[in-house]
Structure 1
Amino acid sequence: MSSAFRPFRMTALAAAASLCLPAAFAQQAPAASKPVTRQEDKKIQQVEVKGTADAYDPRRDDTATKIVVNSEEITKYGDTNVLDVLKRVPGITVNSANGRGGEIRMRGLGAGYTQVLINGERAPAGFSMDSLAPDTIERIEVLRAASAEFSTQSVAGTINIILKRAVKNRQRELKLAAQAASNGWGPNANLQLSDREGAFSYSVSANAAQDRFEFDSSGVETGVSPTGQPTMLRTIRLPQKGQFTFLNLSPRLNWTLAPDNTITSQTFLNHNRFRNRVGTETTTIIGPPPAYPNMVPTYRNEGTYLRSDLTWARKFASGAKLDLKIGASAGQSDNASQRSAFAANGAALLDTDIALANRDRGLNSTGKYSRTLKQGHTLAFGWDGGVDTRTDERSERNALLGPAAQPRDEEAEARVRRLALFAQDEWNITPQWSMYLGARWEGIRTHVEGNVFGTARAGSNVWSPIMQTLYKIPGKKGDQLRLAVTRTYKAPSVQNLTPRRQTSDNNSSTEPDYQGNPNLKPELAFGIDAAYEHYWAEGALLSISVSSRRISDFTRTLVYFDGGRWIATPSNQDSARTRSLEIETKFPLKAVMSDAPAVDLRASVTRNWSRVESVPGPDNRLDQQTPLSLNLGADYKAGALTAGGSFAYRSGGPFRASLNQRGYAFARRDLEVYGLWKFDPQRQLRVAVSNVLRQGYETESTYMDDRIGSQTRYFMYPNGVRVRATYELKF
């Protein structure tokens, strides 16, 4: 059979495998009506409506595996950026090298294996996730297995961040906050407005925040010859002082043209500004000093990102539904750095100004047609396509060469065209058994050209068949099984495809130049996910899930010496495997103790394994994968007081990225507590304390070669306890 038909063969085999489940299905008990309690008074009649365990829950009832984090959970700790929220979600870790920003990971995997979407769309290159305020988010959906409706560039999984959509009648809410730590402080303000007027409704979410920081970091650089003799010992001091400011604005407008006929406009504006002055003071104890032992770089960055979507949703009398969306995006980022370096006697060695301007433009269109049939099928098909253009302009001027020196100017333009077609069928075979079958084709064409390198072109076409099934075990209310078989992939980024050289001042095996590879191919992954879920009381869950991925054409970064400089470049290698085991539970204490206080408990533990076959072991983990992560949490409510805490642990250990590259990932422990006091229905005060254990951030990388020995760099970035206080007012 030709390769073109293999994805369809895999889908058929997956569907056949699921048919091996027991054929006897018990009839589902009719849903219990919602109990209503009435407390009558001479003046006031109060009605309380309480949900039951049989109420719809997307986590429990959707065929596709999904974890939904609602707005209450998102804002519970008064976080100022979405990264702090995600580190408390089961199965998700956030890795940061120096305490600023971070990489979002599922199954311990980053580097593009975890797909992060905003309203179902990928954020543009260079968008800073730590500039996305939690108060602008309505919910976060975590999809462990791929769905045909979204891009299948989700080897580890997908995190879909959905901005505010809900409209409340005459909502007026203001939050004023301040945070402080031993190494920084900053204010935060959020405004929420929404209302309805006939067929028109709107909501506006606005957030502004600033973080000022000042601290000293330290590092050590060592070198050892092949015979074990010390060849280098340097100590490095890195004082930093700067600030980060951002603004989020998200208006949403809704028009109801007729029943089941609406038009929606949603816009998201993000503006951020970053300033940092970093000193690099190197003291050489053994061996030769670096080319620039004392540097004083100053960095300035200012970026703006705008995206606007217009959506038309129409339901027909036949039960069919049509969703059409057209969107446009624009972004710009201006970076400026001034790098100065001095010798021990104060003589100037470097005085360079570098300016980099990026401009992004994009157009996209998506459509989905769905219809429910009498046989229990919900069929849907659609498309997702767009064109994105990015231009880069870089200029470099060295003042030490005099005014007559010619500046070094570089220009580059990248154009990415993409088109995806998908079809899916959600089938309720019986009241206990449902199945999801889908297929998606994605084509990507990338064109990059510049004045300092030749034209680079790359293209990929990927078929992704998907099967997911949910089976509710008869006679055991609350027990169910899940199975998913998927084909996903990871496309190379524009940066990895661009053959332009990005140079390092103190070039070495641990600080190499970087150069892209236009011959990169996409990484393809075949995945299997299975889970057992037990819902044993209202609000109580036990979940045990396992997964496996086999990745072909695995991409890793190689470091080599070209005779003059050290260079890092990505390259397709052999293959890799990754496996995960995740156990999660949450329950109210009253589910196990009678007359228990209003305490909710939650815990999750994830164990990950991986092996890169082209890298010799041991410790040849995929993308420095996090081996073990643990989350514990508790919430307590009594009258006007709500309080709680969260503990997140991420293990570390040695890892081997290639034959010559090694590193060490340091374990991390995050302990947070919060308290919320409601003065009245309109006013409340929220206080949170994070990094209670005062843990900093550490990094270590090593380059080893039998001919020259080894070189290791270690850095420590301190981080103190941070206190946040938020006053919330409804008016």
Structure 2
Amino acid sequence: MYILSPIRLTLLATALAAAFPADAQETPPAAASKAAGAAAQEMQKVEVRGNADSYDPRRDDTATKIVVGQAEIAKYGDTNVADVLKRVPGITVSSPNGRNAEIRMRGLGVGYTQILINGERAPNGFTLDSLAPDVIERIEVLRAASAEFSTQSVAGTVNIVLKKTVRSGQREFKLGARAGSGLSGPTANIQVSDKLGKMSYSIAGSVMAEQFKREVASDEQGYDPSGRPAVARHTDGDENGRLMLINLAPRLNWTLDNGDTLTSQSFVNSARFRNDNRETTTASLGTSAFYPALNSSLRSDNDVVRTELNWVHKLASGAKLDVKASLIGGQNTTDSRRTTPPGAARPVDNLVHLEAEEAGTTTVGKFSKTILKDHALGMGWDAGYSVREDSREESEAGRLLLPALPDGETSDSRVARLALYAQDEWNLTPRWSLYLGARWEGIRTRTTGNTFSTGRSSSYVWSPVMQTLFKIPDKKGDQIRFAVTRTYKAPSFQQLIPRRQSAIDNRSTDPDFAGNPDLKPELALGFDASYEHYWAEGALVSISASMRRIDDYTRTLVDFDGARWVAMPTNAGRARTRGLELETKFPLKALMKDAPAIDLRASLSANWSRVEGVPGPDNRLDGQTRLSGNLGIDYRRGELSTGASFAYKQGGTVRVSERQTSFIVPRRELEAYALYKFTPRQQLRVALSNLLGQDFVNRGSFVEEERGLVVRETRFKAGPSVRATLELKF
């Protein structure tokens, strides 16, 4: 771990600035000429060849990057961005119950993949399930860290860029509906943009309403210390719920008289979730359940507002200053209630009310300049301050439980963050480029509450980054990449606050949760290498390998404190992970000259890991996917476009601790879509999802002292569904 004081970092930045003086000679701009007559035809031929070799960020950027554009985002008519990402090579999407999707790269667990919106971290409480693809311009997937973005990206970074493109007179409207497998509901999207002199504007918005009904089944098996069956229980549940999502992303652009640009962009996200569940538990062996019949309900309201002002100033020397200031606010209210039917042997009427409010401000700036002809120098800062207030009240039959405080359990968290960075992308030769960057990032957290003592956490991480791209001579389209990065994963609010969150049916497989104010950030040293072969227009074959060494790895341990089972995050030594990825995509015409307009794509990822603080076997990183793959095909003929995608995730056992294991159930997802263009302004898109009708399954086990092994599995029923969307331009 590298730790630098702000003074030492300031000296470093000064030294870098001195090494690259502002008055260095810059490359003169290329002169453009116009030809007439017969020369115009020759100029047209040059442009055609230029398009064939046009800039491609995946191929030409020194930093490893996959860019998913609007066409790919809209292809399957997805209603949330998490569904889009599951078809991106190297990304897996995990969901314990079909909702609250977790985005993972390199098979690592939740939290190791950094999620950004317009280059900034998403607010706490925000979920990708609530973000509509129609407000997104592109998605950037960075497999290795860069100094410009936060290095809280052990596995990688997903940067979601909201819509920026403005076209004069653009008017688009989409109206859709989804049905199947207990799901039903409409969707509506609108995109309006225009230019008014030196000002332009765009508004992207979406609304989705969905109702769902499904069955949930759970089984619990218990074995005594000698291995003999002692408990067998089965639970049947019926869920009924509804979801309402609203996204709005307005944007204003001004071009000033001096050539500067000023941009105002906002983002509003609102989610309303309601769910009612009725459970009945029967015991075929051993004692009956503590609550044989239990009803539960959940009400959750979440709102996020983010607005930013971006100023871009071009200096006379050819340099550019890009400054952005943002305000972020959000609130969440959750009511979770559990009741038993009248006449129950153990009556319960438990209500947990949670409220959270967060407000913050950030400022990001970057100075960039091309110097010494082949150096693209950048320096900048990223600072922020946020305040979060949480409250929790728990009552039984209308009476507040201990501690019975007037305002419940309250906590106040304040986070100050500062980062400074410098980077240089250097074209050593026409075929060899080198990226060098350094970022110092410090985070200070202070948490106070009325039921625990004040907790403070402070971490300072120095992250050097190196990436290089070498295009092999005499091998058109062949290139090699290599990267060395220093990244980290900071503890979340929930992991630091020592307040306990209780589970009504407390047991080893459903424990209470308590934060750990002494939790330290996880530090990772990473190496990435890849070989890429571009063998035809739109054709790629890639093989890449990665390695991460993670110090102070955090795992959640479950223990019995004498009265209740409690889960708490704890730093548990070192972990190592390795990965191998294969990817290819190409049009069929690259193999057969007269082939139909078919595009094929495939990817395969394998991952291995070992946690030193956990005895084997299966002492892997919690939640790591060992093997995953994607297959896809797209076909175009006339006004019809169609395609299909298949995703596979291998299952396996993960040993979380000496007594706790989890089991990842294999998952197979098959999807298909069809798009028919009636006119250039009218088209219909139909998409089918979960065609194999696979359920969502969670399985885990725990060895309890004096009781033996307890195995629990929960299955959320799911099936195929269809979406139809009418898309209009006017």
Sort the TM-score into its range (normalised by shorter chain): over 0.9
Q: Distance in 2 between matches of 1:211 and 1:51?
A: 47
Displacement of 1:237: 1.1
2:335 is matched with which residue? 336
Displacement of 1:316: 1.7
Q: Distance in 1 between matches of 2:108 and 2:532?
A: 24
Distance 1:98 1:50, change over 3 A: farther
Q: Distance in 1 between matches of 2:707 and 2:2?
A: 49
> Which amino acid in the other structure matches residue 654 of structure 1?
T
1:369 is matched with which residue? 367
2:17 is matched with which residue? none
Displacement of 1:53: 3.3
Displacement of 1:52: 3.5
1:91 is matched with which residue? 90
CA deviations over 1:82-103 (Å, ceiling 9, x no partner): 1110000000000011111210
Q: Distance in 2 between matches of 1:516 and 1:553?
A: 16
Question: Which of 385, 388, 392 does residue 386 from structure 2 map onto?
Answer: 388
Normalising by the residue count of structure 2, what TM-score does the alignment of the two structures yield?
0.92
Determine if the alignment matches structure 1 residue 356 to structure 2 residue 354.
yes
Q: 3-state SS of the aligned residue for 2:340? A: strand
Contact 2:433 2:468 (C-alpha < 8 Å) held by counterparts: yes
2:435 is matched with which residue? 436
Aligned residues: 696
1:320 is matched with which residue? 319
Q: Distance in 2 between matches of 1:650 and 1:260?
A: 50
Displacement of 1:121: 1.1
Q: Distance in 2 between matches of 1:609 and 1:385?
A: 36
Displacement of 1:77: 0.4
1:63 is matched with which residue? 62
Determine if the alignment matches structure 1 residue 485 to structure 2 residue 484.
yes
CA deviations over 1:431-470 (Å, ceiling 9, x no partner): 0010000000000000111111111110100000000000
Instruction: Using the TM superposition, name which of 126-135 and 706-715 deviates more.
Output: 706-715
> Which amino acid in the other structure matches residue 364 of structure 1?
T
Displacement of 1:529: 0.3
Displacement of 1:706: 5.8
2:130 is matched with which residue? 131
> Which amino acid in the other structure matches residue 54 of structure 1?
D
Contact 1:350 1:400 (C-alpha < 8 Å) held by counterparts: no
Structure-to-structure mapping, 1:432-581, within 5 angstroms: 432-581=431-580
Q: Distance in 1 between matches of 2:3 and 2:317?
A: 39
Structure-to-structure mapping, 1:589-600, within 5 angstroms: 589-600=588-599
Determine if the alignment matches structure 1 residue 249 to structure 2 residue 248.
yes
Q: Distance in 2 between matches of 1:132 and 1:690?
A: 18
Contact 2:142 2:156 (C-alpha < 8 Å) held by counterparts: yes
Q: 3-state SS of the aligned residue for 2:134? A: helix
Determine if the alignment matches structure 1 residue 179 to structure 2 residue 174.
no
> Which amino acid in the other structure matches residue 376 of structure 1?
D
> Which amino acid in the other structure matches residue 79 of structure 1?
D
Distance 1:515 1:3, change over 3 A: closer
Runs of 4+ residues deviating >3 angstroms: 1-5, 47-53, 345-348, 400-408
Contact 2:2 2:462 (C-alpha < 8 Å) held by counterparts: no
CA deviations over 1:265-319 (Å, ceiling 9, x no partner): 0000001100000112211222233332321111111111000000000112211
> Which amino acid in the other structure matches residue 367 of structure 2?
Y
2:20 is matched with which residue? none
Distance 1:2 1:278, change over 3 A: closer
> Which amino acid in the other structure matches residue 466 of structure 2?
M
Q: Distance in 1 between matches of 2:571 and 2:403?
A: 40
> Which amino acid in the other structure matches residue 55 of structure 2?
Y
Structure-to-structure mapping, 1:688-699, within 5 angstroms: 688-699=687-698
> Which amino acid in the other structure matches residue 359 of structure 1?
E
> Which amino acid in the other structure matches residue 379 of structure 1?
L
Q: 3-state SS of the aligned residue for 1:130? A: helix
Determine if the alignment matches structure 1 residue 379 to structure 2 residue 340.
no
Contact 1:299 1:336 (C-alpha < 8 Å) held by counterparts: yes
2:52 is matched with which residue? 53
Q: Distance in 1 between matches of 2:236 and 2:455?
A: 40
Instruction: Using the TM superposition, name which of 390-399 and 58-67 deviates more.
Output: 390-399
1:629 is matched with which residue? 628
What is the CA RMSD across the aligned residues, in angstroms? Answer: 2.3
Q: Distance in 1 between matches of 2:669 and 2:119?
A: 30
Q: 3-state SS of the aligned residue for 1:279? A: strand
1:25 is matched with which residue? none
> Which amino acid in the other structure matches residue 160 of structure 2?
I
CA deviations over 1:544-578 (Å, ceiling 9, x no partner): 11000000011101111111111110111110001
Normalising by the residue count of structure 1, what TM-score does the alignment of the two structures yield?
0.92
Distance 1:51 1:540, change over 3 A: farther
Contact 1:82 1:134 (C-alpha < 8 Å) held by counterparts: yes
> Which amino acid in the other structure matches residue 214 of structure 1?
K
> Which amino acid in the other structure matches residue 358 of structure 1?
A
Displacement of 1:708: 2.7
Q: Distance in 2 between matches of 1:496 and 1:293?
A: 32
Q: 3-state SS of the aligned residue for 1:258? A: coil
Distance 1:70 1:3, change over 3 A: closer
Q: Distance in 2 between matches of 1:262 and 1:311?
A: 8
Distance 1:342 1:601, change over 3 A: same
Distance 1:51 1:88, change over 3 A: farther
Distance 1:682 1:562, change over 3 A: same
1:155 is matched with which residue? 154
1:26 is matched with which residue? none
Contact 1:397 1:407 (C-alpha < 8 Å) held by counterparts: no
Distance 1:422 1:703, change over 3 A: same
2:609 is matched with which residue? 610
2:43 is matched with which residue? none
Q: Distance in 2 between matches of 1:405 and 1:620?
A: 39
Contact 1:342 1:348 (C-alpha < 8 Å) held by counterparts: no
2:41 is matched with which residue? none
> Which amino acid in the other structure matches residue 460 of structure 2?
N
> Which amino acid in the other structure matches residue 137 of structure 1?
I
CA deviations over 1:200-219 (Å, ceiling 9, x no partner): 00110000001110011101
Contact 2:630 2:646 (C-alpha < 8 Å) held by counterparts: yes
Instruction: Using the TM superposition, name which of 103-112 and 242-251 deviates more.
Output: 103-112
Q: Distance in 2 between matches of 1:228 and 1:322?
A: 68
Q: Distance in 2 between matches of 1:720 and 1:104?
A: 22
Q: Distance in 2 between matches of 1:230 and 1:518?
A: 40
Q: 3-state SS of the aligned residue for 1:590? A: helix
